């Protein structure tokens, strides 16, 4: 998308964002204008709060929740950076860099990137760390930023013999200690030291594999996939995240050994956010199918990016650039409240939505008849909801995407509950969503889509999402 004159995006350090932009994504034009006004006010040493508040309202209307959360933080920081004293120079520099990178991220129209961008989260934590010195309770975590507004399915730990758990816990703790001791060591570049760390990680992964069950919502299954993904990054940040994650899993293992069968929700959120991060940013290849399926079980979707050679990477990026150029030169747009969308992308979305909502209505009617319970049909319903959610996210319809993904998660839980295996019976302490909740959520989605088809902004869907979240997250029977 070609930057407009009042948005000098060419000045941004675009190399800080490694994921590709979404060339056909919708634009929250009022927010972009408000952020440009905030930039001008900041450069002129004026108050930026009023402009940033306009951006917050526009993001909220469009359903860009992570962007709204980031802008909220900028609003809270704005009174602190008006003064230009020497003691305020570092704070102004931090705020200015955050505002500049945030504007650039917003211009890329990639909602998954806005949720999972390490660059944005680094700014977000830096700003909140400064706020914490003045406002209690300003501490944040990556999962709070990445999973904003998303329901979290309960995750269980299967019953195991006490002797087996005790043995695994001892092995785990024995391998964890040397890994943690080297977390901040001076020998990080020592090949021998790194080999010892990797060997310790291998033992930890082997313990997680023995703990994991076959149930799709088994926590140790999720933990094993998360740890594997963190190690696969191969960079220092990934290994640091892996160490922290292994340490937190040790606490969950202690709970498991004491008979707890429901995994701590906070740790489930951590595992999901870390597992989702790189796939959300860079897409998944064919060999990542198992991890993608696991993310689907928890209501998270990714794009497919199959890159076998450098040449295929160049072709993929060229196709993206071509799509962006076509979108930029198409003068026809549709306004859906704060969101402006490309006319062709809008028509494509409506076709996808018509097919998906018809399938969801059909599946919901069948779900109300217990004698026709069918796990494969429930999985198909979940996939239909995810297709709708992915299409809505690509267009920039944040509220629709969030509710559709939550409905896909609800259908997934119901599908797995209808597979009467020993793994399901072991983990049946959590109720699956009922047919009525699925039907009501589908109706709410349908109402939102009807407004979009009429060229009107959809409702935020918060009431329907809250009701669906309650039935997804409810605890033990």
Q: Mind listing the pLDDT tens digit for each residue in 37-68?
A: 999 999 999 999 999 999 999 999 999 999 99
pTM of model > 0.85: yes
pLDDT attached to residue 477: 47
Residue 153 to residue 274: CA distance in whole angstroms: 16
Q: Which fold has domain 316-473?
A: 1.20.120
Q: Which two tokens stand for residue 440?
A: 């009501």
Residue 231 to residue 182: CA distance in whole angstroms: 15
Strands 27-28 vs 333-336: parallel, antiparallel or unpaired = unpaired
Strand locations in 246-351 (E): 333-336, 339-342
Instruction: Give the domain ranges of the chain.
Output: 14-146, 162-286, 316-473
Question: Which residue stretches of the chain have pLDDT < 50?
Answer: 1-15, 183-187, 307-310, 312-313, 316, 327-328, 476-477
Contact 468, 349 (CB under 8 A): no
Query: For 115-149, how does the pLDDT look when each residue is reduced to its tens digit (9 = 90+)?
Result: 999 999 999 999 999 888 887 766 789 999 999 99
pLDDT attached to residue 425: 56
pLDDT attached to residue 10: 36
Q: Which two tokens stand for residue 347?
A: 């028509």
The SS3 call for residue 458 is: coil
């Amino acid at each position: 998308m070609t930057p407009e004159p009042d948005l000098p995006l060419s000045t941004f350090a675009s190399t800080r964002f490694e994921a590709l932009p979404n060339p056909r994504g919708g634009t929250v034009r009022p927010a972009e204008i408000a952020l440009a006004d905030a930039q001008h006010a900041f450069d002129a040493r004026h108050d930026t709060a009023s402009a940033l508040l306009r951006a917050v309202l526009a993001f909220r209307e469009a359903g860009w929740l992570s962007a709204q959360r980031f802008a909220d933080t900028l609003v809270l920081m704005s009174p602190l950076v008006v003064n230009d004293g020497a003691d305020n120079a570092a704070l102004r520099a931090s705020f200015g860099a955050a505002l500049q990178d945030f504007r650039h991220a917003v211009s890329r129209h990639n909602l998954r990137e806005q949720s999972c961008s390490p660059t944005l989260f680094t700014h977000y934590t830096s700003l909140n760390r400064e706020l914490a010195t003045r406002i209690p309770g300003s501490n944040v975590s990556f999962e709070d930023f990445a999973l904003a507004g998303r329901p979290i399915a309960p995750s269980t730990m299967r019953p195991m013999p006490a002797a087996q758990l005790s043995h695994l816990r001892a092995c785990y703790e024995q391998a964890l200690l040397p890994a943690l001791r080297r977390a901040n060591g001076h020998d990080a570049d020592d090949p021998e030291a790194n080999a010892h760390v990797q060997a310790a990680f291998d033992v930890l992964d082997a313990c997680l594999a023995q703990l994991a069950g076959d149930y799709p919502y088994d926590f140790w299954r999720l933990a094993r996939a998360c740890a594997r993904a963190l190690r696969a990054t191969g960079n220092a940040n990934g290994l640091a995240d892996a160490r922290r994650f292994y340490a937190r899993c040790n606490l969950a293992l202690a709970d498991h050994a004491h008979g707890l069968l429901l995994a701590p929700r906070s740790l489930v959120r951590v595992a999901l956010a870390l597992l989702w991060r790189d796939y959300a940013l860079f897409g998944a290849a064919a060999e990542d199918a198992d991890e993608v399926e696991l993310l689907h079980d928890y209501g998270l979707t990714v794009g497919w990016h199959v890159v076998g050679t450098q040449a295929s990477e160049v072709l993929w990026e060229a196709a993206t650039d071509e799509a962006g150029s076509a979108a930029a030169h198409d003068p026809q747009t549709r306004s859906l409240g704060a969101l402006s969308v490309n006319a062709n992308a809008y028509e494509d979305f409506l076709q996808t939505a018509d097919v998906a909502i018809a399938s969801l209505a059909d599946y919901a009617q069948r779900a109300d008849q217990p004698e026709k319970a069918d796990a494969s049909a429930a999985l198909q319903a979940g996939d239909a909801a995810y297709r709708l959610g992915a299409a809505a996210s690509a267009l920039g319809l944040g509220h629709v995407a969030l509710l559709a993904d939550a409905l896909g998660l609800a259908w997934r839980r119901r599908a797995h509950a209808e597979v009467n295996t020993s793994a399901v019976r072991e983990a049946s302490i959590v109720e699956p969503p009922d047919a009525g909740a699925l039907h009501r959520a589908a109706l709410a989605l349908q109402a939102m889509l009807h407004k979009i088809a009429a060229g009107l902004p959809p409702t935020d869907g918060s009431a329907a999402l809250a009701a669906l979240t309650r039935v997804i997250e409810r605890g033990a029977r």
